[in-house]
């Protein structure tokens, strides 16, 4: 459904006529997307995940033909979206997190009638479609209230309804659950995953800062860091890129200073906490991905006359993987 090849986008770092004159028309620019390439399969829920400023919204706007790339190509369902944006727009529904284009004096129904007409949906078909999408986002009781009286969460749900009004095959969601209360946020997630993707076969690209949301919803996640894709794949495959030390908890029946010192001396092992519990003496350790360090620790425990009562491996959490992937080093800066 989407093929992006070597996409580059930059923005000027200064604005106005005086900077233009001062620099003789050569205004300095900052590159925010660096040769982005990715593909989204038809019927897939594809996630864009990254810290603030990573380039998610910029990329989403270019995919939605709202911004033109400096270079590179975008194919939307076989259409060159850079050369023929109007044809690509007919395939797209967009839901942004900061919507300002609704008319405040009009009701929710009147707003949807206006935007639906602009999208080419009219008459009975438009009225039927408005009823369907309003039911999806649970705004039926507020349909005839002025938009100006809507809460931020209600406005966000109306934005989702507008994205669905023309029934496009491709949907872009930019933080759709932002400012939405937990109950309606969960309903939106369920609608996106179960109704739009699984039942209707829509292709969805979801930009989000919420790790749990991305891990629970998306078939594929692209992690962006400073304008580059640093990892891309199913959520359960991203931990193959995980380079941090592995964390374990070992419980022994006895512990003395000699065993602690031997553990600290093992290469690649960090003993960051020891405590006492009902099970025995607890050693919380981190070990570089190597069986040798763990074998040396267990040998030290045995030779010191202690017995291992429990051995637990800490599960790698999405936040650990994400933090590792987007960590900014001195070389990055």
119 and 11 within one domain: no
Whether 155 and 111 have beta carbons less than 8 Å apart is answered as no
Domain boundary, last residue among 209, 239, 269: 239
Is residue 127 in some structural domain? yes
pLDDT of residue 50: 84
pLDDT of residue 25: 56
74 and 10 within one domain: yes
pLDDT of residue 263: 78
Is residue 188 in some structural domain? yes
User: Which CATH number characterizes residue 73's domain?
Assistant: 3.40.50.300
User: Hey, what's the torsion of the CAs at 26, 32, 34, 40, to 10 degrees?
Assistant: -140
197 and 265 within one domain: no
203 and 113 within one domain: no
151 and 261 within one domain: no
Is residue 323 in some structural domain? no
d(CA 273, CA 286): 10
177 and 81 within one domain: yes
199 and 260 within one domain: no
- Domain of residue 297, residue span: 246-315
d(CA 96, CA 81): 19
156 and 45 within one domain: no
Using DSSP bridges, classify how beta strands 79-80 and 71-76 pair: parallel, antiparallel or unpaired: antiparallel
199 CB-near residues (< 8 Å, 6+ apart): none
- pLDDT in single tens digits along all 333 residues of the chain: 999 999 999 887 765 555 555 555 566 778 889 999 999 999 999 999 888 888 898 999 999 999 999 999 999 999 999 999 999 999 999 988 766 789 999 999 999 999 999 998 999 999 999 999 998 888 888 899 999 998 888 888 899 899 999 999 999 999 888 777 888 888 889 889 998 999 999 999 999 888 888 888 999 999 898 889 988 888 877 766 555 556 777 888 888 888 888 877 877 777 756 667 667 788 777 776 655 677 887 788 888 788 888 877 766 666 666 776 766 443 444
Is residue 212 in some structural domain? yes
Intra-chain end-to-end CA distance of the chain, in Å: 35
Sign of the torsion angle spanned by Cα atoms 20, 23, 25, 31: negative
Is residue 332 in some structural domain? no
280 and 176 within one domain: no
pLDDT of residue 330: 38
140 and 287 within one domain: no
Which of 125, 104, 128, 101 shows the shortest CA–CA distance to 115?
A: 101
pLDDT of residue 286: 73
Domain boundary, last residue among 144, 161, 178: 161
The helix (run of H) or strand (run of E) holding residue 229 is strand 228-233
Using DSSP bridges, classify how beta strands 269-276 and 29-40 pair: parallel, antiparallel or unpaired: unpaired
User: Domain count of the chain?
Assistant: 3
DSSP, res 273: E
Is residue 288 in some structural domain? yes
256 and 113 within one domain: no
85 and 7 within one domain: yes
Q: How much is the pTM?
A: 0.73
Is residue 7 in some structural domain? yes
pLDDT of residue 289: 60
């Amino acid at each position: 459904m989407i093929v992006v090849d070597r996409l580059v986008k930059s923005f000027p770092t200064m604005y106005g006529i005086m900077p233009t004159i001062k620099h003789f028309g050569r205004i300095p620019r900052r590159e925010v997307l660096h040769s982005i390439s990715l593909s989204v399969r038809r019927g897939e829920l594809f996630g864009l995940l990254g810290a603030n400023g990573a380039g998610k919204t910029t990329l989403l706007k270019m995919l939605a033909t709202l911004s033109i790339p400096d270079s590179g190509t975008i194919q939307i369902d076989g259409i060159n979206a850079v050369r023929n944006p109007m044809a690509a727009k007919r395939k797209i529904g967009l839901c942004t997190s900061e919507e300002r284009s609704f008319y405040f004096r009009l009701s929710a129904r009147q707003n949807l009638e206006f935007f639906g007409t602009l999208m080419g949906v009219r008459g009975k078909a438009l009225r039927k479609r408005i009823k369907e999408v309003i039911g999806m986002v649970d705004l039926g009781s507020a349909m005839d209230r002025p938009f100006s009286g809507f809460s931020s969460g209600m406005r966000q749900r109306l934005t989702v309804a507008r994205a669905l009004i023309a029934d496009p095959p491709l949907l872009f969601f930019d933080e759709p659950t932002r400012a939405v209360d937990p109950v309606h946020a969960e309903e939106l997630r369920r609608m996106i995953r179960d109704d739009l993707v699984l039942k209707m076969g829509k292709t969805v690209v979801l930009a989000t800062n919420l790790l749990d949301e991305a891990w629970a919803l998306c078939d594929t996640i692209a992690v962006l860091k400073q304008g580059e894709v640093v990892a891309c794949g199913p959520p359960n495959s991203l931990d193959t890129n995980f380079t941090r030390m592995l964390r374990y908890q070992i419980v022994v029946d006895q512990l003395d200073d000699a065993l602690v010192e031997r553990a600290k001396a093992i290469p690649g092992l960090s003993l960051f906490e020891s405590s006492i519990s009902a099970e025995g003496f607890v050693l919380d350790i981190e070990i570089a991905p190597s069986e040798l360090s763990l074998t040396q620790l267990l040998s030290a425990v045995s030779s010191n006359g202690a017995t291992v009562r429990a051995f637990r491996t800490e599960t790698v959490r999405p936040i650990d993987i994400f933090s590792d992937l987007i960590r900014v080093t001195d070389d990055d800066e």
